[in-house]
Amino acid sequence: MEKNNTEKMIHDISNYPKTIRIKFQQLFGQEALIIRSPGRINLIGEHTDYNMGFVLPAAINKAIYLGIHLRKDRKISLYSIDYQDDYQTDLDAINRSGKLWPDYILGVVKQIQKNHSLDHGFNIVFGGDIPPGAGLSSSAALECATAYALNSVFNLNLENMALVCLAQAAENEFVGVKCGIMDQFASMFGKKNQLIRLDCRSLEYAYVPFHTENLKIVLFDTRVKHSLASSAYNERREQCEAGVKLIQAVHPEVLSLRDASEEMLLEFVKPVSEIVYNRCNFIVGEIKRLLNSCTDLENKNMQAFGKRMFETHAGLKDLYEVSCQELDLLVDLVKNDPNVIGARMMGGGFGGCTINLVKTEAVDALIKKIGDTYLAKTGTEMLAYVVEIEDGTGIV
Ligand code: GLA
């Protein structure tokens, strides 16, 4: 009886903190400190973060909730509500768990231990409503929640930017995905109804108001599970670095694709490798596109902004080659719909969601129409999320 009630609550976002409190009491007889850390969307600027360009993400109303309390001994005890699974280890013996979800937490602990000796173990219970593998950065949210939680209970006094860097390093070094900084940054620094224009080189950022009174942000989930850990993401990164190297031989001042021009790519990269050229060409174009799209936002020209989203999709599909049939189908289906201002695949690629800017009054009918067609063409039921832009990581 009690289990059924708990399970029901798990699927109601407003009750996650309560579910965690109850589970924490059951497992450890303790009162947990609860942290909320959201997933993210990205309006434009894809794969530009690790090329030292700009991104335009925001935190959303889907989040990881994580409860924490210190222990007297040096044990670490973790429990995932959604996987109904636990994991135990010791502060002095942190290794990869072999089942992924604990690694996002353990990787952060290991990063913190580089500069701080933690003198107590701790208990963690977490869960949340960010669909995993949908490209909404549930893993970054878990890393940020952990970093924020440890900073709080151990009084480490680390700035939020330091926590973001720790969380990214955990993913790079412990989980093994050479991701950029966007996901962790957006999860930590999100602000209600604001996009964040982040310069991934200087880490300077500015909040950009996003006027969506008559537009909704709708995500269509292909349900194709992407695996960033699969080599394709790291391979794209290597191809970009290979392009930079070719240019650097003549222009040592070019440190990343942020500094490269279309002319440089044509002169030094295209003759050596068409594939590397295509990858780099997309990135150089995308960095420019993002800057122009920020001007569109300033001018409140959402039609122009949306057009650039479609252009981004075309580049991710044809030049960067990180899309897939299902993502392309979802973008094609809305391309000529006057109620859809812009659409494109979002995040690392190879599955996950498309992001669509849709006229508010048309949202319900569109979800039904696209869902039906998607089911008929792929045999898979599409999921749709109408998301709101929310605050970043904090204590509940
Ligand atoms: C993933 C990575 C990010 C970023 C995007 C693509 O979400 O974690 O760092 O590179 O892909 O823009």
**Would you list the domain boundaries of the chain?**
2-210, 215-387
DSSP-assigned letter for residue 389: B
Cβ atoms of 54 and 290 closer than 8 Å: yes
Ligand 1 site-directed mutation target among 43, 52, 183, 198, most atoms within 8 Å of CB: 183
Distance separating alpha carbons of residues 395 and 289, to the nearest angstrom: 36
Phi-psi region of 352 (alpha: psi -120 to 50; beta: other; left: phi over 0): left
Q: Residue 10 pLDDT > 90, yes or no?
A: no
Which atom, in ligand 1's list, is nearest to the CA of 348? Answer: 11
Which residue, by CA, sits nearest to atom 8 of ligand 1? 179
Token pair recorded at residue 119: 């003198």
DSSP-assigned letter for residue 68: E
Catalogue the E-assigned strands of the chain. 33-42, 54-55, 57-70, 75-80, 85-90, 122-128, 194-199, 205-209, 215-221, 340-345, 353-359, 383-387, 394-395
Could you read off the pLDDT of 86-109 as tens digits, one per residue? 999 999 999 999 999 999 999 999
Opening angle at CA 309, ends 307 and 312, nearest 5: 115
254 CA from centroid of ligand 1 (Å) = 22
- Give the pLDDT band of residue 227 (cuts 50, 70, 90): low
Beta-bridge mates of residue 373: none
Which residue, by CA, sits nearest to atom 2 of ligand 1? 179
Distance separating alpha carbons of residues 310 and 285, to the nearest angstrom: 13
Q: Report how many helices (DSSP H) and strands (DSSP E) the chain contains, helices first.
A: 12, 13
CATH of 2-210, one of 3.40.640.10, 1.10.540.10, 3.40.50.300, 3.30.230.10: 3.30.230.10
Strands 75-80 and 122-128: parallel
Cβ atoms of 55 and 113 closer than 8 Å: no
For 366-389, b/e burial (b = at least 16 CB within 10 A) is bbeebeeebeeebeeebbbbebeb
171 CA from centroid of ligand 1 (Å) = 11
Could you read off the pLDDT of 253-262 as tens digits, one per residue? 999 999 999 9
- Indicate the burial class of 11 (C-beta count within 10 angstroms; 0-12, 13-18, 19 or more): exposed
Which residues form the pocket of ligand 1, taking CB atoms under 6 Å from any ligand atom?
Answer: 46-47, 49-50, 137, 179-180, 182-183, 228, 347-348
Taking the alpha carbons of 109, 114, 115, 117 in that order, is the dihedral positive or negative?
positive
Distance separating alpha carbons of residues 113 and 110, to the nearest angstrom: 5
Ligand 1 site-directed mutation target among 49, 136, 203, 279, most atoms within 8 Å of CB: 49
Q: Residue 226 pLDDT > 90, yes or no?
A: no
Q: Residue 7 pLDDT > 60, yes or no?
A: no
Active site residues per annotation: 183
Q: Which CATH superfamily is domain 215-387 in?
A: GHMP kinase, C-terminal domain (3.30.70.890)
CA distances from 314 to 137, 157, 263, 274, 335 (A): 23, 44, 21, 17, 11
8 CA from centroid of ligand 1 (Å) = 33
Return the closest-CA partner of residue 346 out of 378, 324, 372.
324
Could you read off the pLDDT of 291-350 as tens digits, one per residue? 999 999 999 999 999 999 999 999 999 999 999 999 999 999 999 999 999 999 999 999
- Indicate the burial class of 267 (C-beta count within 10 angstroms; 0-12, 13-18, 19 or more): middle
385 CA from centroid of ligand 1 (Å) = 20
- Give the pLDDT band of residue 6 (cuts 50, 70, 90): very low
